[in-house]
Amino acid sequence: IRCIGILTSGGDAPGMNAAIRAVTRSGISNGYKIKGIYRGYDGLINDDIQIFTTENVSSIIQRGGTILRTARSKEFTTPAGRKKAYDTLVKEGIDALVVIGGNGSLTGAMLLADEYDFPCIGLPGTIDNDLWGTDSTIGYDTTLNTIKECVDKIRDTATSHERIFFVEVMGRDAGFLAQYSAIAAGAEAAIIPEDSTDSDQLIEFMKRGIRKSKKSCIVIVSESPKCGAMYYAERVNKEYPEFDVRVSILGHLQRGGSPSAHDRILASLTGVGAIQAVKQGQRNVMVGVRNNELVYVPFVDAVRKKKPIDRNLIKVLDDLSI
């Protein structure tokens, strides 16, 4: 292998730039030529590619987003799109591909690797923390801190007005952001897809919590097409009109901003790990960190196995919310 391509794909995440920097610098240090592929798989399909030198990645470790841009490529989900992408790899003389992204992006890398026997290495780049086999994903810690700061601010209003706030956070199908931010921000509850908590249990809880000792309350709700923060607020409004209820949907501010030290370090370790993987002849694995050790997780496990939440944390939150 002489030339390694690198791309970011799917939702941007703080720390992606630190990962691009690490892969580029470590790749060059180890004698590889590095090519940056713009706009994710769309850029691979359309040959939007440039040689990367160390200068391309100077002063980017602190920047949010991704200098390579990103996309959710529809075309790459089709066999015809992946054929075009493979043809570009051959044309560009790229012998291995490093993909930084979440579940959908690494699933794409797995398909390309399988169909064309092409070496692909993945880095876990998503705020959702929903990739199996790694304790954390690049971007998750920064987003958790962003949510914590937002909820701290919302609490000022919640307390002053004695209101119930339903704060909706991202996470797609996973409740990590909601559960951990609820603990970090001292929220009274988290509604997460992995838990059986339904709205009636929630209202019971609020009756207890609010009437006994609390005059305000913050509930963190994982985004969901049917049962998001709006849904719970409307139910409480209807069934308990004595409560003053508000909703705050944090939205895309959760994805932006300068990456935390934790995310920069994770990106740097896994970026260097990706080049080591190529050197060792590994292929079709995601580089992660588990119990402070670098691990190589087969794509099929990383994307297909469901990362479990820590159920003990449900009790922790319950105990602390009285």
Residues at the annotated binding site?
A: 11, 21-25, 72-73, 102-105, 126-128, 155, 163, 170-172, 186-188, 212, 214-216, 223, 246, 252-255
Q: Does 264 bind ligand F6P (CB under 6 A)?
A: no
Shortest distance (Å) from residue 153 CB to ligand F6P: 21
* CA distance linking residue 265 with residue 190, whole number of Å: 28
In the residue annotation, 128 being an active-site residue is answered as: yes
* CA distance linking residue 183 with residue 196, whole number of Å: 18
Choice from 45, 170, 220, 278 touching ligand F6P (CB under 6 A): 170
Q: Which residues are annotated as a binding site for ADP?
A: 21-25, 155, 186-188, 212, 214-216
Residue closer to ligand F6P, measured from CB, 174 or 317: 174
Shortest distance (Å) from residue 108 CB to ligand F6P: 14
Residue closer to ligand F6P, measured from CB, 169 or 278: 169
* CA distance linking residue 106 with residue 118, whole number of Å: 14
Shortest distance (Å) from residue 172 CB to ligand F6P: 4
Instruction: Answer yes or no: are the C-beta atoms of 244 and 191 closer than 8 Å.
Output: no
Shortest distance (Å) from residue 104 CB to ligand F6P: 8
Q: Does 39 bind ligand F6P (CB under 6 A)?
A: no
Task: Compose the 237-256 pattern: x for residues touching ligand F6P by CB under 6 A, - for all others.
Answer: ------------------x-
Q: Rounded to whole angstroms, what are the CA distances from 249 to 83, 126, 150, 170?
A: 40, 19, 11, 9
* CA distance linking residue 42 with residue 34, whole number of Å: 18
Query: Which amino acid is it at 181?
Result: S
Instruction: Answer yes or no: are the C-beta atoms of 192 and 180 closer than 8 Å.
Output: no
* CA distance linking residue 290 with residue 248, whole number of Å: 34
- Active-site residue, selected from the candidate residues 12, 128, 141, 263: 128
Choice from 101, 108, 171, 288 touching ligand F6P (CB under 6 A): 171
Shortest distance (Å) from residue 130 CB to ligand F6P: 8
Binding region for ligand F6P (CB under 6 A) out of 164-172, 237-245, 271-279, 299-307: 164-172
Q: Count the neighbouring beta carbons within 10 Å of the beta carbon of residue 282.
A: 17
Q: Count the neighbouring beta carbons within 10 Å of the beta carbon of residue 226.
A: 5
Task: Compose the 102-141 pattern: x for residues touching ligand F6P by CB under 6 A, - for all others.
Answer: x-----------------------xxx-------------
* CA distance linking residue 10 with residue 71, whole number of Å: 5
The order of strands in the sheet holding 3-8 is 49-52, 33-37, 3-8, 96-101, 120-124, 285-290, 293-298
Choice from 5, 11, 27, 108 touching ligand F6P (CB under 6 A): 11
Residue closer to ligand F6P, measured from CB, 89 or 178: 178
Which spans of this chain sit near ligand F6P (rule: CB under 6 A)? 11, 102, 126-128, 170-172, 223, 255
